[in-house]
Chains A and B, each alone.
Chain A
Amino acid sequence: MSTLTDPPKASFRLSMLVYDTRYRSLTIQVVALIAFMLAAAWLINNTLQNLAELGKPIDFGFFAEPASYDINQRLVEYTSRDTHLRAAFVGLLNTLLVAVLGCALATVVGVLVGVLRLSGNWLVARIMTVYVEMFRNVPVLLWIVFFMAVLIESLPSPRDFRGESPEASMLLFDSVAVTNRGIYIPEPLFSRSLGDLSLGVFDVSLDLVAILAVLGAGLWGTARISRRAGRIQEATGVRPVTWYLRLAVVVLPVLAVLIVLGFHLGLPELTGFNFQGGIYMRNSLIALWLALSFYTAAFIAEIVRAGILAISKGQTEAAAALGLRSGRIMSLVILPQALRVIIPPLISQYLNLTKNSSLAIAVGYMDITGTLGGITMNQTGRELECVLLLMGVYLCISLIISVMMNWYNTRVKLVER
């Protein structure tokens, strides 16, 4: 007869730290942590030593000093007597401006190209393929400097608009001037303006706030109307026709506010050697905007195409078998499923576009890389502070966008068993 006994408890030996799986992971982690901390300490020590030798300890005090350089494209008030901090802020707004403009145009072009690439028309599909391959396989920096060069070399200069029979003329009923210095477009003006609200850092136009508030209320109204229509449909089976009501709820109040505020357009006019009035978009902004948008649009087109192809044909056929019309099939069956595939890579393209906007420095557009990482860094000689802060800013933008993406992903995730 045999008795089962516990194996004898082995006393702890040092070699078990390596060969015993119970302890090994702990050993590896402790070694990794020590190595990591040693490396970090070494880097920080070197940095401090170097900075001490150069006699410039880490100090962000330079942000309060006057920047003494001009920023020619800006969204908020700025003069060269403002501080470096203010200049960095202006740069950040410029980054966000080109990112938002770029994302909007890239989405429109990308979706259009992606859908047309799937078109049954052979010629159209081929043209779109050429577009995608052409933009995807050439560096974005090359596109940016190329667009800049084309704008400068091939557009008329303001002087060509002068005289009895000018070589160039303004477009769209004399409201848009396209010149080699930039594009002048009409600006919205209000003759009975509400004035500006100062937020300390920058001013906000109360007119804009009023219009946005009315627009938001209108959109809320349409949502209410369509929810009511949905309830009626569920109760009676007939959906009341509401589109004119919804349109009116949005458009009429906004029109009313515009009339009350005395809305009119300020057209650019040629005075002397240059155009005055209107909104002036410099070439650097236009070139950066177009190049980033068309480049990113090529990637978005591929994402859209892959998303639509990912939905199996059976879905379309099943929806058709239920008796849905083709528009409804798209909006109720295909798009909700395709969007789940499309949106995450789409947002990472937005992220790429925002990061690529740092290439603005190549055409002299003053985004945050041009102000904080360019002129401020060169003027003050504070490389460490400037570059670390620049990285921090981009990291924050990226993190905010990825948090939004994760929130969306969890919301639309397919719930499986």
Chain B
Amino acid sequence: MADLSYVRTEMVPEQAPPPSSVGVLGWLRENLFSGWFNVLLTLLSAAFITMILAAVLPWLFHSSWTAGSLNECRQQIAAAYGEHAEGACWAVIRERHLQLLFGFYPSELYWRPVLAFVVTFLALAPVLFPALPRKMLWGSVLVPFLVPWLLWGGTLWLPLTVLAGFGLGYVALRGVSGLAGGLGGVVAAAAVAVLWWLFLAGPVAQGAHALFPLGLEPVPSRQFGGFMLSITIGVVAITLSLPIGIVLALGRQSDLFILRTICVGFIEFVRGVPLITLLFVASVLLNYFLPPGTNFDIILRVIIMVTLFASAYMAEVIRGGLAALPKGQYEAADALGLDYWKAQRLIIMPQALKISIPGIVSTFIGVFKDTTLVSIIGLFDPIGLSNAIRADTNWNGIVWELYGFIALMFFVFCFSMSRYSMYLERKLQTERR
């Protein structure tokens, strides 16, 4: 009987895919020209990009770097590239970039903010990149005392006496813990440190300065400005808002009714009002709330309000992370016999913080962008300075170059922060996929 199978018995040799579906051509077909609608979109986008480039490229390259005013710029560009040439007047950036970076900080002291930011970055490096040795963290602890001294100047003894308060508190903690138990030790340490800072630190610093005058030339706050000001406010508010936010989030999640009510009230109040009203509080109201005669630095007041603002947002982000954690994790921690703080520190927080990394970083970015609002209460951050530059008769009418430069600086900071958060998320990803 003949073999009547209708199925091939031998394999067909493998064929190469059609040339239109592989390589550059295939990619183009798939991503740009699949169907009439896509072709239309592609053509429209291409036209749009060409239009932008046609406007921007000549403007970028027909530029003037050396003029002293906007009119001079226009004359130079007209002379070099013809009567109707449009060109960028980068001379304003050349003339004012130091001011945009440092504000009115004395120019012979620029090394101090630069050193301060290098030191800050070195202090943050072991926190940001776990590959670095852990011992560097001990150096990071000293930075909060070093940086303000570098920026504001004054006697070296002041940060040293403040640091000594922590040392005294630690001594009290060790001494009293042995006698009166852990809680007594903590209370005693806090009491000793606060008493030291309130009553003794000032006179001791003055006395020491009189004996050994060590210090830098003081720089008043009104000379601060530019990106230096934004970064100072931003870095302080960012670093302080995370711990405060964690405490607020735990308070909001806790079973203790009164604590919870206070935390909810604070968070909802701060989140319900715009930052600008809190800055009004910093600039005009804070002096009402403090004992008569107190008058402290405007930058410090602004930092306090921005930190409170950021903390409330941070608390909500971390609360989201806490809520996203399965209940089993809390129960497992209890079952292991861990007390509240150990359970938070070892089980809950590491996971909750990991979940909330994107939210935390976007809050950071938001805080850094919001530091520009201080221009409204009269501080000279980059936007405040840009208003001043545009009011200058030489540069009256300049728009794109100035705002472009400021926007680019902010973009670099914020974009690198968001990229770092993506890197961190990938690195901490423990689920098998």
Asked if residues B375 and A141 are in contact (CB atoms below 8 Å), the reply is yes
Question: How near does chain A come to B154, taking the closest CB pair, in angstroms?
Answer: 27
Verify B276–A358 contact, CB threshold 8 A: yes
Q: Once the chains are docked, how many angstroms separate the CA of A61 from the CA of B34?
A: 70
Q: Is the CB of A398 within 8 A of B271?
A: yes
In contact, A394 and B272 (Cβ under 8 angstroms): yes
B403 touches A145 (CB 8 A): yes
A358 touches B41 (CB 8 A): no
A384 at interface, CB cutoff 8 A = yes
Q: Which residues of A have CB within 8 Å of B258? A: 29, 32-33, 36
The contact string, 1 if C-beta is below 8 Å from chain B, for chain A 37-71, is 00000010011011101000000000000000000
**Interface size (B, Cβ < 8 Å)?**
57
Interface pair A46/B281, CB less than 8 Å apart: no
Least CB distance from A226 to B in Å reads 30
The 5 closest A-B pairs by CB, nearest first: A398-B272, A137-B414, A122-B31, A139-B369, A355-B274
| Contacts A47-B289, A384-B285, A395-B272 given; does A138 touch B411 at CB 8 Å | yes
The chain B residue with its CB closest to the CB of A358 is B274
Bound state CA distance, A46 and B285, in angstroms? 12
Beyond contacts A32-B262, A139-B372, A387-B284: 14 other A-B pairs, Cβ-Cβ < 8 A, are: A29-B257, A32-B256, A46-B288, A120-B30, A133-B415, A137-B414, A142-B372, A359-B276, A369-B274, A383-B288, A387-B285, A391-B273, A395-B269, A395-B273
CB-contact partner of B277 in A123, A124, A391, under 8 A: A391
The residue in A28, A43, A139, A369 that gathers the most chain B C-beta atoms within 10 A of its C-beta is A139
User: Is A46 in contact with B292, judged by CB distance below 8 angstroms?
Assistant: yes
Question: Known contacts A137-B411, A141-B372, A142-B410; is A387 also within 8 Å of B281 by CB?
Answer: yes
Q: Is the CB of B259 within 8 A of A50?
A: no
A127 with B411, Cβ < 8 A, contacts A356-B274, A387-B284 known: no
Q: How far is the CB of B379 from chain A (nearest CB, A)?
A: 13
Give the nearest-CB partner of B271 in chain A.
Answer: A398
Q: How far is the CA of A399 from the CA of B387 in the complex (A)?
A: 35
How long is the Cα–Cα vector from A120 to B403 in the complex, in angstroms? 34
What residue of chain B has the Cβ atom nearest to residue A128's Cβ?
B45
- Residues on A with C-beta less than 8 A from B291 are 46, 49
A interface SS class: helix
Chain A residues with Cβ below 8 Å from B414 are: 136-138
Contact surface of A with B, Cβ cutoff 8 Å: 18, 25, 28-29, 32-33, 36, 43, 46-47, 49-51, 53, 119-124, 127, 133-134, 136-142, 145-146, 149-150, 153-154, 355-356, 358-359, 361-362, 369, 373, 377, 383-384, 387, 390-391, 394-395, 398-399
Known: A121-B31, A138-B411. A25 touches B256 (CB 8 A): yes
> In the assembled complex, which residues on chain A have CB atoms less than 8 Å from the CB atom of B410?
137-139, 142
17 A-B pairs (CB sep. < 8 Å): A28-B256, A46-B289, A119-B41, A120-B30, A123-B31, A123-B49, A136-B414, A138-B407, A139-B369, A141-B372, A153-B397, A355-B275, A356-B274, A369-B276, A387-B280, A387-B285, A399-B272
| B46 within 8 A of partner (CB) | yes
Query: Would you call B290 an interface residue if the criterion is a C-beta within 8 Å of the partner chain's C-beta atoms?
Result: yes
A141-B372, A384-B288 known; A369+B411 contact, CB < 8 A = no
The reply to whether B262 and A358 contact each other, CB–CB distance below 8 Å, is no
Interface centre among A121, A154, A361, A395 (most CB of B within 10 A): A121
| Nearest CB of chain A from residue B310's CB, rounded to whole Å | 14
- The reply on B253 being an interface residue by CB < 8 A is no
Give Cα A34 to B42, complex, Å.
Answer: 67
When the two chains form their complex, are residues A121 and B255 in contact, meaning their CB atoms are under 8 A apart?
Answer: no
Interface residues as binary, B141-155 with A (CB distance below 8 Å gives 1, 0 otherwise)? 000000000000000
* Structural contact, A390 and B399, CB atoms closer than 8 A: no
A377 to B280, CA, bound (A): 11
With a CB–CB cut-off of 8 A, which chain B residues contact A141? Answer: 372-373, 375-376, 383
Distance between Cα atoms of A18 and B182 in the complex (Å): 11
CB distance from A94 to the nearest CB of B (A): 15
Q: Contacts A134-B411, A361-B276, A390-B280 given: A142-B406 contact, CB under 8 Å?
A: yes
* Chain B residues within 8 Å of A391, by CB: 273, 277
Q: Provide the bound-state CA to CA distance between A53 and B406, in Å.
A: 44
Closest to B280 in A: A387
**Closest approach, in angstroms, between the C-beta of B71 and any C-beta of chain A?**
14
Residues on A with beta carbons closer than 8 Å to the beta carbon of B120: none
Given contacts A127-B48, A137-B365, contact A47 B288 (CB under 8 A): yes
Cα A330 to Cα B38 in complex, Å, equals 19
- B31, B273, B376, B390: the one contacting A394 at CB < 8 Å is B273
Alpha-carbon gap, A361 to B48, bound state (A): 34
Residue B370 at the chain A interface, CB threshold 8 Å: yes
Give chain A nearest CB distance to B264 CB in angstroms: 12
Name the distance in Å between A342's Cβ and chain B's nearest Cβ.
Answer: 17
Q: A46-B290, A399-B272 are in contact. Are A137 and B285 (CB under 8 A)?
A: no
A123-B281 contact given A137-B418, A142-B410, A356-B274, CB 8 Å threshold: no
